[in-house]
Amino acid sequence: MPGVRGKNVLVTGGSSGIGQAIAVRFAEHGGGLTLFPSFREPWSSE
């Protein structure tokens, strides 16, 4: 992935699945990461 080194990326759903695979690839190529997990259960208003 040319052009990724030194860039910062935001990956949603980065704790598993496709988001995790994308995060790993960016990290392997020198990208800085901010990860947000995806939530399987809806947030409660309580």
Give yes or no for a contact between 14 and 35, defined as CB atoms under 8 angstroms apart.
Answer: yes
The span from the CA of 35 to the CA of 33, in Å, is 6
Count the Cβ atoms, other than its own, within 10 Å of residue 4. 15
Asked if the structure places residue 44 within a domain, the reply is no
3-state secondary structure of 40: coil
Give residue 9's domain range. Answer: 1-39
Number of compact structural domains in the chain: 1
Select the more confidently predicted residue: 46 or 27.
27
Give yes or no for a contact between 35 and 23, defined as CB atoms under 8 angstroms apart.
Answer: yes
- pLDDT score of 42: 61
- pLDDT score of 28: 92
- pLDDT score of 4: 82
Look at the pTM and tell me if it is higher than 0.85.
no
Model confidence at 5: pLDDT above 80 = yes
Model confidence at 12: pLDDT above 70 = yes
Which whole number is the average pLDDT over 3-27? 87
Asked if the structure places residue 45 within a domain, the reply is no
